[in-house]
Chains A and B, each alone.
Chain A
């Protein structure tokens, strides 16, 4: 708690070193703020001092407000717990309890009253003149949420050091850099871009809550975005927009999903002036590596090579050890983050073909739909509520648009009545989808449902899932 402050250990201190070059901005969809010398005011209504050394939950609808709070509170709060935009509200009490949250920054007046947290500070994107300049007083723990098996989020602790370890070289950026991302900065991938942008010499364009792709592209273009990042699914959606030509980036970055050769080629031919790179990163492992040769997969020579990031492949799964790894899980989560040698098992399955490794998908059946994780068990539980369903198995189905989709194989109880069988099946399908609609987020609802006579059961009595 009484760690002596490191003068350059927080965002505010880095902003305090004025860069040379054009004026710097953080642009949101409906508001903006100058980043130049320091944040030119306060988005927290001058209440920063009240939040000192607290465990602060940041729960805003618009990510612009989150960005302001992160800049102002890094180095001030003991913990910053960043709510993802789609966190189901029923999980908030557990997050608050596990992270010892004693203050909430929200953009809703009176929002989150029911959580019983004593201190609530409004941050709705409005910036007011600051009366005093707060001073860095502690090393802030950054807590990121990522979805877990039961739907309850896993909470991972990162430090300013682990988050910024991958971006040392990126800070040699030219001052005219304007970053943009289709990601939300409240997830690891987006947070990386946020930090690259605010710690570097340039500016940053954020997407708005629910902003249509076309409008976002037009704003990115209007602000002259030079470096734009997103998942392969984000980029496919961008290329399907008539406003794809509104941007002319110099650098395109993909992460968060498998980047296949199709999307790499499509971006290369659509934006011939841009260099296109894909990165492997996860909340647990941090940024593993970047691949800039225009090809899918990664060179086999990276495995076992010495360096800041060490990579090994164990039973087909990619493991990564580096200073970029998350520090630990929060609270009483007894799962361990690393193996005996300090490597994080990413659960991403790879296969070597010639001198390259290629990504196959996730072990344990986790499905990545456009960058969002789906645990098959949660979907199966919804399907199995239908009275006619004996059992079901949810698996990943490749999609050229979102990388993967949810597909379900369903075994019915008893033989369907042969006379009206087809009609009955159609009804069952509709009813199962309705149950899923009522209980699951849209990306978790099966895109296809197939009725099968039986499912493969592995020796341990569990459904046989394949990567």
Chain B
């Protein structure tokens, strides 16, 4: 577990996506910033699980912090959304 504390938000997001895909025995396309989340092999249930697991790992869920959300479309949007929230939580996001 000690390794995760120093892991960047981006690396944490990517490793959780890989773990969920592995559990589902799904193969993933290259996880680039411009990859559309819904094309990543995760359906909306998969994305919901990702958000729940990230809350356990990172300790926050940026979707529930405001009633004014712009839903992320690409993986890059999603990671930036979490990095931004990490900053306001005082978590080192890099």
Q: A265-B68, A402-B45 are in contact. Are A240 and B63 (CB under 8 A)?
A: no
Task: Check if A401 is an interface residue, CB within 8 A of chain B.
Answer: yes
Tell me, in angstroms, the Cα distance from A402 to B56 when the chains sit together: 17
Query: Is residue A236 within 8 Å, beta carbon to beta carbon, of the partner chain?
Result: yes
Whether the pair A369, B71 counts as a contact (CB closer than 8 A) is no
Chain A residues, CB < 8 A from B68: 262, 265-266, 269
Q: Are A236 and B71 in contact (CB under 8 A)?
A: yes
Confirm or deny: B31 has a beta carbon within 8 angstroms of a beta carbon on chain A.
no
Min Cβ gap B81→A in Å is 11
B67 touches A240 (CB 8 A): no
Is B45 touching A241 in the complex (CB atoms < 8 A)?
A: no
A75 part of interface (Cβ distance < 8 Å): no
**Shortest Cβ distance from residue B66 to the other chain A in the assembled complex, whole angstroms:** 8
- Chain B residue at minimal CB-CB distance from A437: B23
C-alpha spacing A266/B53, complex, angstroms:
24
A355 to chain B, nearest CB (A): 19
Does B44 sit within 8 A of A, measured CB to CB? yes
Chain A interfacial residues counted at CB < 8 A: 33
Which of chain B's residues have a CB closer than 8 A to the CB of A447? 48-49, 52-53
Contact with A along B6-39 (1 / 0, CB 8 A): 0000000000000000011000000000001110
- CB within 8 Å for A405 and B71 given contacts A214-B38, A370-B44: no
Most chain B beta carbons < 10 A, residue from A214, A266, A398, A402 = A402
Contact status A399-B48, CB under 8 Å: yes
Q: How far is the CB of A165 from chain B (nearest CB, A)?
A: 32
Interface residues of B in 42-85 (CB under 8 A from A): 44-45, 47-49, 51-53, 56, 61, 63-64, 66-74
Give Cα A240–Cα B75 distance, bound, in whole angstroms.
Answer: 10
**Are the CB atoms of B63 and A213 closer together than 8 Å?**
no
Closest to B1 in A: A422
Contacts of B71 in A (CB 8 A): 236, 239-240, 266
Contacts of A214 in B (CB 8 A): 36, 38
B52–A399 CB distance below 8 A: yes
For the complex, give the distance between the alpha carbons of A447 and B71 in Å: 21
Complex CA gap A239/B38 in Å reads 11
Residue on B nearest A266 in the bound complex, by CB: B69
- Beta-carbon contact of A448 and B47 below 8 Å: no
State A240–B78 Cα separation when bound (angstroms): 10
Assembled-state Cα–Cα distance A1/B69 (Å): 55
Question: In the complex, are the beta carbons of B37 and A442 less than 8 A apart?
Answer: no
Check if B44 sits within 8 Å of A401, measured CB to CB.
Answer: yes
Residues in chain A near residue B52, CB distance under 8 A: 397, 399, 405, 407, 447-448
Question: Which residue from chain B places its CB closest to the CB of A239 in the assembled complex?
Answer: B71
Chain A residues near B51: list those with CB within 8 A: 399-401
**How far, in angstroms, from A443 to B37 measured CA to CA in the complex?**
19
Quick check: is A237 within 8 A (CB to CB) of the other chain? yes
Residues of A near B72 (CB, < 8 A) are 240
* Contact A398 B44, beta carbon cutoff 8 Å: no
A307 near B: Cβ within 8 Å? no
Q: Check: A261 CB closer than 8 A to any chain B CB.
A: yes
Residue A56 lies at the interface, judged by CB distance under 8 Å to chain B: no
Q: Which residue of A lies closest to B63 (CB)?
A: A400
Q: In the complex, are the beta carbons of A261 and B67 less than 8 A apart?
A: yes
Looking at the assembled complex, report how far the CB atom of B9 sits from the nearest CB atom of chain A, in whole angstroms.
17
**A99, B71: Cα distance in complex, Å:** 44
Min CB–CB distance A387 → chain B (angstroms):
21
A residues 250-294 with Cβ under 8 Å of B? 260-262, 265-266, 269
Beyond A214-B38, A237-B38, is A398–B45 a contact (Cβ under 8 Å)? no
Question: Do residues A240 and B49 form an inter-chain contact, with CB atoms below 8 A?
Answer: no
Q: Does A233 contact B (CB under 8 A)?
A: yes
A369:B63 contact, CB within 8 angstroms: no
A89 beta carbon closer than 8 Å to chain B: no
A157 to nearest B CB, angstroms? 31
Q: Is the CB of A237 within 8 A of B44?
A: yes
Residue of B nearest to A244 (CB): B73
Do B70 and A442 have beta carbons less than 8 Å apart? no
Residues of A within 8 A of B67 (CB): 260-262, 265
Known A442-B45, A447-B49, A448-B52; 15 more pairs at CB < 8 Å:
A212-B38, A240-B38, A240-B71, A262-B63, A262-B64, A265-B69, A266-B70, A266-B71, A369-B48, A400-B61, A400-B64, A401-B44, A401-B47, A402-B45, A447-B48
* Interface positions of B (Cβ within 8 A of A): 23-24, 36-38, 44-45, 47-49, 51-53, 56, 61, 63-64, 66-74
Pick 20 A–B contacts, CB within 8 A, sort by A: A213-B38, A214-B36, A233-B44, A237-B38, A240-B44, A262-B63, A262-B64, A265-B68, A265-B69, A266-B68, A269-B68, A369-B45, A369-B48, A370-B45, A370-B48, A398-B64, A400-B69, A405-B48, A405-B49, A448-B56
- Rank and list the top 3 A-B pairs by shortest CB-CB distance, nearest first: A400-B63, A401-B48, A239-B71
